[in-house]
């Protein structure tokens, strides 16, 4: 089993897991068993695409699944939630990893193409704001995040350039006179969309006279990357850098990055397994997989894989081993009953 930084380097290099997999699955009742059965009679292939944040979980579920039996080809890719939904709603993939819920536009696209699906919550994550350990910044308010990274900060070359805007919005008035270099996910990423929503960019911008569409975006002059490890490297290499990634990736950065606490009105709260699990960390979110139910009904190997995903091996072991936060039991039960109710 791939562990720690070695597993993340596989993801960073965009090496999709291409393996022979066979599925064994739960107890036949929504995958609530221990996932230790085997079935070497399954054949075919399973295609998963979407979120690079969720990809390490799905990769690890697949690794565990490989140990069951060796007769199904399986591929996982992580181009980003938005790009993945294009493929999923065109019927090109079987499973969509998503670091945000499906949008209205994506729902309409799936409906237009006759793609029926089920949404399964699989884990918690906290979008983790980071800077370099050399930076003195320890905590940022959501107003600060908008003032530094929102559309009105275009052209700000120093942290201190954001002082006036942050103060006007109720944030910090004493940023250092240090170069402001931002590297963060691009628009193809569900992490990008979730960050804007959770940090309240639209509300801050609208209160400042912008339209909703103009407010709910990052400044256009930041460095975007679909590769979370590229973002970590940028933070590590620049003393006053700023950016964000999913919690598991930030944790993989270790001492090379500094995780920044966030204040959304209740004080500075740092991301941790505990604060993400209880929702007190302001940038906490759910992670999902979406399953094409028509394909699952026709594909015993796909149904078997999803059964395994919602077993204890998937929703507890794989989630925690991948560095994310497992759902509480009552939400695990909801995920399993949702899958069972899909009638596949």
Supply the CATH number for residue 155's domain. Answer: 3.40.190.10
Place of tokens 């900060």: 153
Final residue belonging to a domain, choices 248, 263, 284: 284
* pLDDT per residue as tens, the chain (344 positions): 333 333 333 333 333 333 333 333 344 334 444 444 445 687 789 999 999 999 999 999 988 887 785 787 889 999 999 999 999 999 999 999 999 999 999 999 999 999 999 999 999 999 999 999 999 999 999 999 999 999 999 999 999 999 999 999 999 989 999 999 999 999 999 999 999 999 999 999 999 999 999 999 999 999 999 899 999 999 999 999 999 999 999 999 999 999 999 999 999 999 999 999 999 999 999 999 999 999 999 999 999 999 999 999 999 999 999 999 999 999 999 999 999 999 99
Say yes or no: 30 and 63 in one domain.
Answer: yes
- The reported pLDDT for the residue numbered 291 is 98
On whether both 307 and 195 belong to a single domain, the answer is no
Among 256, 284, 312, the domain boundary falls at 284
| Amino acid 40: pLDDT | 60
Task: Please indicate, yes or no, whether residues 275 and 292 belong to a single structural domain of this protein.
Answer: no
Same domain, 182 and 37: no
Query: Distance between CA atoms of 242 and 181, rounded to whole angstroms?
Result: 6
Domain boundaries, position 251: 126-284
Mark whether 144 and 232 lie in a shared domain. Answer: yes
Examine the domain organization and report whether 172 and 201 are in the same domain: yes
Domain count, the chain: 2
Q: In terms of DSSP H, where are the helices of 117-253? A: 142-149, 163-168, 190-198, 201-207, 212-215, 228-237, 247-253
Do 238 and 172 share a domain, yes or no?
yes
CA separation (Å) from 207 to 200, 201, 203, 285? 11, 10, 6, 24
- Give the number of other Cβ atoms within 10 Å of residue 334's Cβ: 14
- pTM for the model: 0.86
């Amino acid at each position: 089993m791939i562990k720690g930084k070695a597993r993340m380097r596989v993801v960073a290099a965009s090496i999709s897991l291409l393996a022979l997999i066979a599925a064994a699955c739960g107890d036949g009742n929504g995958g609530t068993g221990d996932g230790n059965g085997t079935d070497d009679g399954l054949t075919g292939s399973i295609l998963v695409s979407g979120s690079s944040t969720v990809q390490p979980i799905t990769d690890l579920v697949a690794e565990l699944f490989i140990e069951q039996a060796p007769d199904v080809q399986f591929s996982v890719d992580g181009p980003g939630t938005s790009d993945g939904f294009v493929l999923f709603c065109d019927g090109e993939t079987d499973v969509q990893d998503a670091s945000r819920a499906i949008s209205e536009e994506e729902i309409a696209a799936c409906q237009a193409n006759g793609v029926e699906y089920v949404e399964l919550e699989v884990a918690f994550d906290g979008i983790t704001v980071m800077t370099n350990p050399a930076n003195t910044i320890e905590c940022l308010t959501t107003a600060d995040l908008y003032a530094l990274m929102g559309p009105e900060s275009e052209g700000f070359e120093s942290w201190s350039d954001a002082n006036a805007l942050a103060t006007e919005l109720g944030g910090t008035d004493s940023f250092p006179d240090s170069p402001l270099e931002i590297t963060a996910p691009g628009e193809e990423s569900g992490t990008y969309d979730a960050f804007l929503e959770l940090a309240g960019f639209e509300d801050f911008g609208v209160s400042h006279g912008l339209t909703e569409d103009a407010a709910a975006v990052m400044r256009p002059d930041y460095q975007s990357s679909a590769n979370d490890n590229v973002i970590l490297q940028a933070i590590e290499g620049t003393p006053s850098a700023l950016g964000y990634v999913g919690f598991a990736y930030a944790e993989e950065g270790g001492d090379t990055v500094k995780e920044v606490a966030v204040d959304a009105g209740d004080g500075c709260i740092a991301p941790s397994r505990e604060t993400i699990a209880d929702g007190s960390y302001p940038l906490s979110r759910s992670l999902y997989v979406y399953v094409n139910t028509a394909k699952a009904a026709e594909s015993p190997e796909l149904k078997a894989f999803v059964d395994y995903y919602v077993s204890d091996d998937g929703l507890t072991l794989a989630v925690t081993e991948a560095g994310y936060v497992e759902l509480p039991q009552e939400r695990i039960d909801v995920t399993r009953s949702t899958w069972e109710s899909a009638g596949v």
